[in-house]
Structure 1
Amino acid sequence: MSSSTDIAARRRAFRQLHETGCFVIPNPWDVGSAKYLEKLGFQALATTSSGVAWRHGKADGQMTVDEVLVHLREMAEATNLPVNADFEGGHAQDAEGVARNVRRAIDTGVAGISIEDSTGDANAPLRDVATSVQRMRAARRAIDESGTETMLVGRAENFIVGRPDLDDAIARLKAYSEAGADCLYAPGVKTREQIEAVVKAVAPKPVNLLIGFPTELTLADAKALGVRRISVGGALARSAWGGFMRTAQQIAGEGRFDGFAQAASGLELNQLMRGG
């Protein structure tokens, strides 16, 4: 169990990471993957709603708030690193519910909380801006009342819910910034022009860039574009699933076991989990 002093120090360090430069904040899906990413030297981690849902045999968006809070606590306690919570839409229909759940998320020890504006309804995938701003303000109020340095991340989901309108996404991000978001995030923007436009629009506040796909963009490229942090969403979990699925399909379909050539070393994994 982390002490309140440890948690406060992580939150302070997390804020400082956003002040200059650009860092990668990868997304583990369980305690073991979090431990490995810490061993590799990353400075912060972020949860992934899709990755943890698949871990529990559910689709993204099907986790209950209580299940998510259990996961956030175990992730915050798994490593010595700050953890940003993918908290979806706050797991509530109204602003007061968002505030209530954000307070509960803060209590898990996370260093940042992301709130998005998607609805889960394919016919109307985005909440209107006024409603989304109200919810962001509620999250901001909950953090302020907690007396902690927990960061609030405002997400405009246009590009991943089938509404790839850059102007609308930017307008939303600017509104979320004014409502108190500390960091802004439009998952799904990919081109240099899109990224530059988002960075310029919300400056001087930091921007998170999602890279969960093959791309020629590097960390150095993102830094040059003004991005402060890069997350990978469910891509690491999908990569793990990809290896598992290919090997399992080969066994089932061909009776072959070649896929195990790419398997991790059991000795190495045991050493990692023992803290070696």
Structure 2
Amino acid sequence: MNIDSRERAERFAELHREGCFLLPNAWDVGSARVLESAGFPAVATTSAGVAFSLGRPDHDFHEEKDQDARVDRDTMIRRVGEIAGELGVPLSADLEDGYGEAPGTVAETVAMALAAGAAGGNIEDFTGDRARPLYDESLAVDRIRAARAAVDAAGEPFVLVGRTDVLLVGGSLEECVRRANAYLAAGADCAFVPGAADAETIGTLVRELDGPLNVVMGLTGNALALDDLRALGVRRVTVGGSIARAMYRQLLDVARELKEQGTFSYAAGQIAQADLNDLFRQS
């Protein structure tokens, strides 16, 4: 990690120490640069957005025959490196489940993300297997512990996030709290609980967790605003693949207008070529 990358990573770690910040999710260099230009202090990747940009499905429940459709680790890390290399703000990487079950594989993935210039990354306990949607808790803890060891071995600042998908697969809040705290105890710097979207659930998590909480908004146009989340004690807010999905919604609408109506009204809302050129010329 060079001096500039280390300084960005240190700034990213500092963001997690107090207050609440919004960390929007990009999927390529262009989207990341747009978010940076809006003034966000850091940007994250979205595995869903990266997958969609490659014409692939996101990591989800799958059949064995669908495994080859998933974006592989090398492709994802390459995209992380492309984005990190073009940003002046820190980048956090969505590392899904670490691209393998074994703790050693997770450690390799985290080391690769560090080498690619990421200032942080999350490891989730979701397997994609309907028969066993989450990794066994003891194994999930070992995976976070291995990720922490990889960070420590590198000797560079890196915000490790332990993500539990308990709520997304219909599990209890009690299990969610237990897993998240176990991941924090194993070395995660922050806990990420997707599926926590109402004030009562989020408030309980803030009170019960032994570390900073990340929640994801934008999955359904949630009524809670950033000020509400800040008042609840949330430390970090991401938006997952929602920006990418909104962009693809617009693209699909444009395609339908062109094909079904043969009109071009969509062009009235486009960004001027000169404005985009100016934005992307900025260093």
| TM-score, normalised with respect to structure 2 | 0.93
Q: Deviations over 1:183-223 (max 9, x none)?
A: 001111111011011111114x2111100231221111110
- Report the identity percentage: 39
Q: Deviations over 1:69-107 (max 9, x none)?
A: 101111111211111110001112211111122111110
Indicate the SS of the match to 2:134: coil
User: 2:100 aligns to what?
Assistant: 92
Aligned pairs for 1:204-243 within 5 A: 205-212=211-218, 213-243=220-250
- With 45-54 and 89-98 compared, the bigger mean Cα shift is at 89-98
User: 2:252 aligns to what?
Assistant: 245
User: 1:68 aligns to what?
Assistant: 76
Q: 1:34 aligns with which of 21, 24, 32?
A: 32
Q: 2:265 aligns with which of 258, 267, 270?
A: 258
User: 2:7 aligns to what?
Assistant: 9
Aligned pairs for 1:1-276 within 5 A: 4-61=2-59, 62-160=70-168, 162-203=169-210, 205-212=211-218, 213-275=220-282
Q: Deviations over 1:107-131 (max 9, x none)?
A: 0110001000000112321111111
Q: Which runs of 5+ in 2 are unaligned?
A: 60-69
Indicate the SS of the match to 1:267: helix
| Aligned mates of 1:6, 1:189 — CA distance in 2 | 35
Q: How many residues align?
A: 272
Indicate the SS of the match to 2:77: helix
- With 260-269 and 181-190 compared, the bigger mean Cα shift is at 260-269
Structure 1 residue 139, shift from structure 2 partner = 0.3
Structure 1 residue 264, shift from structure 2 partner = 2.0
Q: Is the 8 A contact 2:95 2:109 kept in 1?
A: no
| Aligned mates of 1:165, 1:245 — CA distance in 2 | 37
What is the RMSD of the two structures over their aligned residues, measured on CA atoms? 1.3
Indicate the SS of the match to 2:133: coil
Indicate the SS of the match to 1:42: coil
| Aligned mates of 2:268, 2:250 — CA distance in 1 | 11
User: 2:66 aligns to what?
Assistant: none
Q: Deviations over 1:4-49 (max 9, x none)?
A: 1111111110111111111100001110111111111000010000
Indicate the SS of the match to 1:81: coil
User: 2:65 aligns to what?
Assistant: none
Indicate the SS of the match to 2:50: helix
Indicate the SS of the match to 1:119: strand
Indicate the SS of the match to 2:276: helix
User: 2:62 aligns to what?
Assistant: none
| TM-score, normalised with respect to structure 1 | 0.95
Structure 1 residue 164, shift from structure 2 partner = 4.1
Amino acid at match of 2:6: A
Structure 1 residue 172, shift from structure 2 partner = 0.7
| Aligned mates of 2:144, 2:233 — CA distance in 1 | 24
Q: Which runs of 5+ in 1 are unaligned?
A: none
| Aligned mates of 2:241, 2:217 — CA distance in 1 | 10
